[in-house]
Structure 1
């Protein structure tokens, strides 16, 4: 029974690895328009669908599942105990999410339908985390978050795959040595954090008193400088001061009058009449006779078609629906074109249209 489970889990990992390795963005899947596209996934339709779902959610973090199942199968085949399966599974899921966040900072190119390698889940998580703590980190917050997520994802992957301690250390050292130029400041940050938590409470109290004393000295020096500046200004001849907000006094008096004003009772006045329609201005005749310029609409449609071709989005604009404010261009994607790719490129297409026009 153990051998059967080992073969099943290992075979599932091999299936996922081959399906993810041969993933192609034009393969028919749940979010692909049309059915005429050629299937290029090595594992057939099931492999194309499964790999598309995983990459859409986890991005490059999907490969963690494949490697985990393969290693788990080998461990079971060798009768090795790797602890709680639930904890390993939770570590693998967290690792896939964190590696997807790290992939959100890497451009996806033509391999993925998204703009990055993090998939929808990783890109959304990276943007959310950047919005939360971007002001705290300062410069390039998305890069710093991606690096930290990559390190944490690799550590959790080693724990979830059930690698031994020496194997996990070797993987982590290899990753850190390869990206040492990028994360040169990570060690100093970790040293500061660890030293902060390892220091006794008495040192924090001493530092707080020192900080308060230094702040009081700074405030005293600033007060002396301000007093000296005021004395220098009092010796100088008076200058004409420009009025910045002349409506302050008028606003205060108006507020007082408004508070004293009594509400008028208009409900009991029976002789009140609606305003006459003669106050409205008639529509000029040239506006009534104005018609839509069909040539301009067709020109914009051709321009939109060229922009879509620049982004490698194949399709045909079937109809144009002009409106009072927004004109709707109905696009029918070509077979094999994913609708999610068109949606993800909407902002870039809009910028290109505004730049060309």
Structure 2
């Protein structure tokens, strides 16, 4: 139908038979013959110059309906909306044409006014009811509504695409002018590479969701740039993938802070002297015998908080007999509580833990400088404290992407969170780990405002926190697409492959980058290259409060599967209660 209308309208001739002319001429100029001449004359008589737009509008609606969807119901819905849009656009356009266009100014004289009979009648009715200015504004708004119905886009999207098209046209003209000046040998004052920066400005993120852009602070950007541009030092820096100590976590450039910044552990006397431990061992054996349990203390392990007595039960003594005596033993030993460890891995003894009279202070510097922390290869190594025997305990956050720190007021949640954050700062550079911190109280995490590891300033607004988490979900999906394109299974393999390509002098091109065809072939060659991806850690203070305020918005990040977070290098931990 659209093709037929295009054929007969653009071959319209005023001497052909029509509504305004009856002739016995045997020569028909219209390509549609006698019928085509009459149909073209009727359409031009009714709609005026806007009849010429009917073929294009019909073809546009048909293409959008049958090429962009296969659902029958959706096709009918688009056809209906497209038909209403065409009707409103032609009617409003005809009315405007009847007001401002002369029918004799075109390449062929029209049968009626510039807007046809319909446009003339509607324009006269509106002008008599309103005035000329109000009628013009009303018809323009009606045309905008019709265009939105035909294209299926909102006004904002229409304005955005129109602006992008105009900017692309300006960029194309600027590029052509620079190329012409170069060919003529004239000074350009600007290189084509400078013009290619327009491509980067207009290259939008390929994604469906609208995500609020996170802007790092200027200090964080400067600090990260200084770390990235620091020249490699012999013995302290790594220059090639072959020298990487760990295949899982390639070491990047940048200096780590010295442990001297932390306070050394204070001198603390042991909780119990050897004589006291011997007396307590005899007292424990005596109390067990009083309750009918034969057992002997094999060893004693004093720790910073509790002291463990490893007891070997006599043959025939059940472990449950000792467990049932926990409260009685606490009363007999005059201590607040006793904990019975029924199974100690690798040993046949039973552990009885008694709290120390004085709890020792565990300094973070002890854990940071310990052998277990120094030899850990993961940039997400966390310093957790000491175990029962006083040995340092570290953990890898990458193996537990969802970490919830909960407890009552004053139980040490804030101290634990700060120790975890500092341990990552002592283990990883800004190139390896980036942080997103959410602190609605503006108290706990504000001290980290200027560190270079921050991906965005500390978030204090709940709605911005939801946007940050949605960005994390999008970034996770983008990383999965990159890893699929490169054929690797996790972020460590991705970084290793990217670093190897950089060392060979053949950096990999971003496979997800899509050039804008409106900028030409020269700009299409400026595709960005891949760089190693950092781990992303999200720290949330008062997670329960945020779930109450914007629970629906952050539900998506909370439901992300654990293996997906591990593979793409994203982690999240929060403090609650």
Query: TM-score, normalization: structure 2?
Result: 0.24
- Rg larger for: 2
Query: TM-score, normalization: structure 1?
Result: 0.38
Which has more strand, going by share of residues? 2
Which has more helix, going by share of residues? 1
- Larger RCO: 1 or 2 (CA < 8 Å, sep 6+): 1
